[in-house]
Structure 1
Amino acid sequence: MNSTEQSVLLTDEFFKDTFGIDDYLSKCTQKSELLTLRRDLKNYGFVLYSTMVDILKMETEDIINLAESLTNLSSKIDDLSTPVSQLCEEIRTLHLTIKDAKLCFEKHLNRVQSIRSETDRVNLKMGILSSSIYINNIITSCLQEDITVLERAINEYSFQYLYLKEMDLDSKVIDKDIINTATRLLELVHTVFLKAIQQNDEETILRSLRMYVNLSKQSEAEKYIKERIVSPTLNMIFTQKSLDLHGQNVKILYDQAIDFLNTNMKLLLMVLDRNPDTKGFNFVINSFWVEVDKQLRENLPNITAPGNPELFQRRFKDTSLFLEQIMNAANDLTLFKKNPTFQAHMKRFNLPVYFEIRFQQIAAQFEAEIITDPADFTESDIIRQKGEGNPFALQVSLALWNSIQRCFHDDVFLIPLADQFLKLMMLLTSRYLKWFESHLNKWNTSLPSSGFYKLEEFIIYSLIDTNILKNLMGSSARNLSEFDNTVFKVIPSNIRPSVKQILNINEQLLDATYLKLQQQLVIFKVQQCAIYLQQVTSIPRLYRRTNRNVPKEPSNYVIESVSPVTKLYSNYNTIMGDKIVAVMDLIIARLSEQYVSLVQEVLLSVCKTEESLRRLKNRNLTNNDDSLTQTNGDATSDEAKIREQIKLDVGHFIRELRSFAVDVGKRPLALLTEESGYRDKI
């Protein structure tokens, strides 16, 4: 193949990484025809085949030599497999031999160590026994009262015992003889300790306590004091006979027990406080309290008086105070939370049952008062006139306040039930307000048969009472420091902020009820007066073509309409004070608005009549001048009389009521003056 053909075939393209058949054919066909390209490729293939044959002929000898060398190497490797297997077996045998030797050596070392430990234990036990014999000899050779010798013996024993304990050998070495020695030492210390307490020997008490510490027998000291000193005394105090002797007053028994603690155990507790090195003792709890709890459960099982709420409450408070005194004596006010026996003791008092009884008593008494319908109220239901010194006007309000006072009375309230009594207070208040709301809804549909006056009196007294209740309950919510001067003084200081929020809510509810009652009173009074004001529409009939004289006095209807409002003020101004002013202002505003509407209607009718007469005059002016003139004059006179009567009525209305209009009532009165043409100043 010549160079021209190679250039056509582009053989360099075959060795590129980006070689592609389609691209290659596209380039070659641009230089020659397809048949020519096919022939050239075939010839190029023959050239490549010939070249490959030549290469194989040249390299065959080297390949054969390499194959022979590899065969020889494989044969030599096969010859090495037997020596290698023998070496592995020898190594395995050596490993087993070393392992057996190690196990044998470990057994020997363990045996040597065991013999050495046993020897040490025997030597140590002999030393302990010698020390025990020495201690026994010391005890035997001296008098029991020789506390110095006793201290020396205890120090010797303590040293040996502490050594064993630190080495974790106390359970292995100490035998019966050594235990007997410890027991004998403890008995001698008990004797010295008891005698020192009975003789108020402070120094001996301190030395005895230190001997207990050296013996690590603090619990035995507490147990000994409980059995020899505390138990005999408390056994005479906490008995049913003693309780009956003191009139079922358990507080006297508690005071006697505390007096015993502060007297008979005072010196012991003082010694403990002054000497911090005497650690591990708690005679107040482990000697005194444990025995108190036991004897109260065994000797006075019915001390909680579950069926008598008064006695239950008093004994619960006395017991709580008693436990606080014990915690103060122990210098730990958190004992009630940390010591489960305190909690278990107070759980003897069934608080849910107690609250259920109190709930029934308080709620039943209140419900007995609240079932009365205001329309059926009698003189006995209105207590303001009785002069008994209470601020309320209605018996039902007094019943609510008495119930709230009882909830937080010293003889009823219990701190653990504070949340329950607060809920009861809210329930009673809600019931009281719901009672008002139900009757307000009923009065909106129909008035009671007793009439306006009785209903008016009831609402006035209700306004007075809700305002008083708001002040009594809301004043406590203004400042936490004022709680001590209110009925809520029994509530603990830590929950007073929450109580303050509750009282704020109650105050808001009372305000809402007060506004509803006030609005209902306004509606009643407006309805009562509006009946008379409707008669203003009859004025035109009184003066048209009746030849009545020009009016000089206000009509009876306006006098009757104003009278209920002024009587309301005169009747209740004294008892309501400034609160009556707001009620009067609202009544005047509503009443004036209605009166303005009626006056506008009448005056509009008068104007229409005048306009009709004027048109009639113009139509008949040429026909009957004299007669029409007379008719026109009479019509004008009648309309003037109507306007004059309205002015007189409005004037009387304004003069009687303007002094009571302080806010919302002023604008309707001004509008009424403008519409009627009344010129007097408001």
Structure 2
Amino acid sequence: MSNKDFPKSYEKSRELCFDENEFLKDTFSVDIFLREHRNKASLEVMRDDLGTHLKSLRLSMIELINKDYEDFVNLSKDLVGLDNGIRKIQTPLQDIKNEVLGVKNELVEAISGFTSCLEQHKKITTKKRSLIHVSQVITCINKLKSIIGSCKGNHTDYSIDLIERATMEFNQLQFSLSKCEGDLQETQKKEAEVVSQKLMSILNNKFLECLKEKKSCELVKTLKMYAGLDKVNELELLVRQEVIAPKLATLITEEALQREPDGLSYVYDEIIYFIETELNELLLATSYKGAPPPLKGYNFMINSLWPELEKRLNLPLMFAPGNANLFHSRFTKSNEFLRKLEILCGSHSSIMKLRENRQYQYFIQKWNLPVYFKIRFQEIAGQLEKSLGEVKMGGPVSQLKSETAYYLKSSSVVIEQIKKCWRNDVYLPELSHMFWKLSLQILSRYRNWLTECLSKESDLLAKRRMELGTLQTSFGLDNFQVKSRLDFLVCLFSDTNTFLTEARTFLESSKEKIPNKHLVEEELSISLEESLGQVRETIPKMTDSIVNIIVSESAVHFRQVSQIPRLFRRTNRKSSTEPCEYIGQVLHFPKQFFEWKSNQPFEVLENWFTLAFNEMTNLFYADVNEVLTNAQKTEESLRKLKKKKENYPSKNSGDDEIRQQLVIDVHSFSDELQRFQVKKENIQMLKDLVELVETARNKSEKQ
């Protein structure tokens, strides 16, 4: 009953401190109600609200009674005499209950008796059936004895049809034996066991005979017999022990494996030949390679051949972990052998079963690929470091250009080691990611070596500049160390360009050897470009080093420009029509270098000399400008003195001769550039230099 069942008898003057519906809940508790509402209102307020609610309930009850008064009166009339009626029917009901219980007990007793009879009948039937099977066992044993005894010669006297009849009886015997349930006597059990052994011996011998003599039809029948007898595992074991094991024992020996380089190849070829000749009929009958539908349940490759093969191959010297060349040879040959075995499996599912076989995986794991790669890594890294460590800056350069595409032995060794990673007698597809990484590491090591060489060259250049500052040294190619340094840098420049081209071509082609290359094509290309790009970054630095040597050995003579005023000032020396000696000295080293390295590509030489003459022209311009500036200052000083002292002697100051000499020197320098096949327009300050001396001379003539 809810509040909706009570009429609303009055209007509340205010809201109560609790919800009226809480009293109607099934879970209502006085303690919980007080605990929840004592903090909402004081006890006095709660008491007043409860009293108000009680009055409301009373009024509602009175209104409800008044409203349904007629129903209450009728209900009270109907209940008069009801207890007497109940007492009247109580006794008949009890009698009916007793009768029902009696019938129930009789039914239970009848069912129990019937169940007992059924159990007894079942036992009799089972016993009877068991005895029938005992009789069948005896009959089958007698028939088998009769069939087996019909041929008293050797096993070859038994025809396939006779053996097939015997297996059918044997199958019936096996079934009857499983149904005898202990009623069979020990003598009968022994007779059944003896007959079974004789029959299996005959069947085994017949199978081996059919396999040896390649009787395909009879072989298929024997396989069906084994399958019908549920002897598939026994037959697979028989093939392993009687056919495969003896042959492999003669083929796989330590002596055979040690007959390198063809020992293992010979063994594997003989095994494949044995499978294709001796086991071919068996595999055709049980695999999907044969024309008829294969016999299911057999897997001689996995259950007969492979366990024995893995056992025989598991020799200490087989895997040769410490001999990289022997390991590679045997691993490659073993992989090729396994691929041939997989082809002989006949179907994809058989191949997958072979690969998932525990012994197959164990054989694969015996090949310690990380150790092999470590040995190869040490070989390659050792050769690389030895070659790179032999080079000394400033020492004699051993050139190989007549033998290889490289000038330096170090460069040749680097590309050789990259190629070695992918050589057929070194590379393994299973280690493709590691050999690719090693190739990139070699590129990185070459880049670092180039950087180290250029760093050492910078130190030698600084030291050489100090020597040139003292003028206590031989110049240009007459200095052995300078010649060696320059020779080394030119060879390094040429080798690096050749190396980049060859390395890119070779590694691009080597990517084809990587399994599933299409899945990582983008990553391979990106990593190769990054590594080659790092090597390529050293080429401009080599050019700078070559140019710096040319400039250092040549520009040192520009200091003689400052000596030109001494030749003409306060002297009666006439103007010269020939350039000063320093012009020839400045150009002497570039001429030597140009003739010495004329075998270099034209565009390379043009670039080097363009950069060198740009730098030298800048230095020449600075020295000439300084001399002209000083000459102008001297003229202005003399002009001022002449104004102050009218009788000041007007001797020849020689400034015109100085300017004229500079014009001759600059033009001679400019004309000589044609020898080096350098375009004058590419020498940025050359035009400014010519204008500088021409302007100075013309200005002087006007004055």
Do both proteins adopt the same fold according to a TM-score greater than 0.5, normalized to the shorter chain? yes
Q: Secondary structure at the match of 1:667?
A: coil
Which string of whole-angstrom CA distances, capped at 9 and with x for unpartnered residues, describes residues 250-271 of structure 1? 2222222222222222333344
Match of 1:26 in 2: none
Displacement after TM superposition at 1:356 (Å): 2.7
Deviations 1:528-553 (A, max 9, x none): 22222233333344333333322322
Q: How many aligned residue pairs are there?
A: 605
Say whether residues 1:533 and 2:558 are aligned partners.
Answer: yes
Structure-to-structure mapping, 1:157-168, within 5 angstroms? none
Question: In 1, Cα distance between the equivalents of 2:259 and 2:97?
Answer: 101
Distance verdict in 2 for CA 1:291–1:171, change over 3 Å: farther
Task: Determine helix, strand or coil for the equivalent of 1:392.
Answer: coil
Match among 484, 493, 500 for residue 463 of structure 1: 493
- Bigger Cα displacement from structure 2, 453-462 vs 242-251: 242-251
Match of 1:393 among 368, 391, 407: 407
The yes-or-no answer on 1:474 pairing with 2:504 is yes
What are the Cα deviations for residues 544-577 of structure 1, in whole angstroms up to 9, with x where unaligned? 3333322322222232222322322221231456
Q: Structure 1: give runs of 5+ residues left out of the alignment.
A: 1-13, 22-52
Q: What do the CA deviations read for 1:465-500 (whole angstroms, capped 9, x no partner)?
A: 22222122111355xxx44xxxx8865573884655
**Match runs of 1:132-151 below 5 Å:** 134=143, 137-141=146-150, 144-151=157-164
- 8 Å CA contact retained: 2:302, 2:354: no
Query: How far apart, in 2, do the equivalents of 1:660 and 1:99 lie?
Result: 130
Pair 1:207 & 2:237 matched: no
Correspondences of 1:539-578 after superposition (within 5 Å): 539-575=564-600, 578=603
Which of 305, 316, 320 is residue 288 of structure 1 equivalent to? 305
Cα distance in 1 for residues equivalent to 2:80 and 2:581 = 146
Per the TM alignment, residue 334 of structure 1 is displaced from its structure 2 partner at its CA by: 4.7
Could you tell me which of 333, 355, 368 is aligned with 2:386?
368
User: For residue 467 of structure 1, what is the amino acid of its counterpart?
Assistant: N
Uncovered stretches (5+) of structure 2, i.e. residues with no partner: 1-7, 16-58, 465-479, 697-703
Q: Which residue of 2 aligns with 1:409?
A: 423
Aligned mate of 2:546, from 521, 526, 549: 521
Task: Determine which of 298, 307, 310 is the counterpart of 2:325.
Answer: 310
Alignment partners' CA distance in 2, 1:676 and 1:93: 146
Aligned residue type for 1:653? F
Tell me what 2:672 maps to: 656
Paired residue for 1:645? 661
- Counterparts of 1:442-461 in structure 2 under 5 Å? 442-447=456-461, 451-461=481-491
Correspondence for 2:363 among 345, 348, 352? 345
For the residue of structure 1 that corresponds to 2:295, the secondary structure is coil
Give the superposition deviation at 1:354: 2.7
Q: Using the TM superposition, name which of 62-71 and 125-134 deviates more.
A: 62-71
Question: Aligned pair 1:321/2:336, yes or no?
Answer: yes
After TM superposition, give the deviation of residue 373 of structure 1 in Å.
5.1
1:552-610 deviations in whole A, cap 9, x for unaligned? 22222232222322322221231456433332332233333333344444444444445
User: In structure 2, how many angstroms separate the alpha carbons of the residues matched to 1:135 and 1:577?
Assistant: 101
> Does the 8 Å CA contact 1:554/1:649 hold for their aligned counterparts?
yes
Q: Aligned letter for 2:311?
A: K
Contact in 1 for aligned 2:394/2:485 (Cα 8 Å)? no
Q: What letter matches 1:229 in structure 2?
A: V
Aligned equivalents of 2:227, 2:559: Cα separation in 1: 102
Comparing 233-242 and 186-195, the one that deviates more: 186-195
What is the rounded CA distance, in whole Å, between the counterparts of 1:220 and 1:654 in structure 2? 101
CA distance in 2 between counterparts of 1:84 and 1:522 reads: 132
Q: Is the 8 A contact 2:429 2:514 kept in 1?
A: yes
Cα separation, partners in 2 of 1:69 and 1:255, compared to 1, 3 Å: closer
Amino acid at match of 1:368: K
Instruction: Tell me if structure 2 keeps the 8 A contact 1:246–1:252.
Output: no
Q: Which amino acid aligns with 2:295?
A: T
Could you tell me which amino acid in structure 2 is paired with residue 458 of structure 1?
F
User: What SS does structure 1 have at the residue aligned with 2:426?
Assistant: coil
Distance 1:542 1:268, change over 3 A: same
Contact 2:496 2:539 in 1 (8 A): yes
CA distance in 2, matches of 1:320, 1:264: 23
Q: CA RMSD in A?
A: 4.8
Amino acid of the residue matched to residue 565 of structure 1?
Answer: P
In structure 2, what is the Cα distance between the partners aligned to 1:446 and 1:597?
Answer: 26
Residue identity matched to 1:338? E
Q: Which shifted more, 336-345 or 507-516? A: 336-345
Task: Report which stretch shifted further, 437-446 or 68-77.
Answer: 68-77
The CA deviation at 1:77 is: 7.9
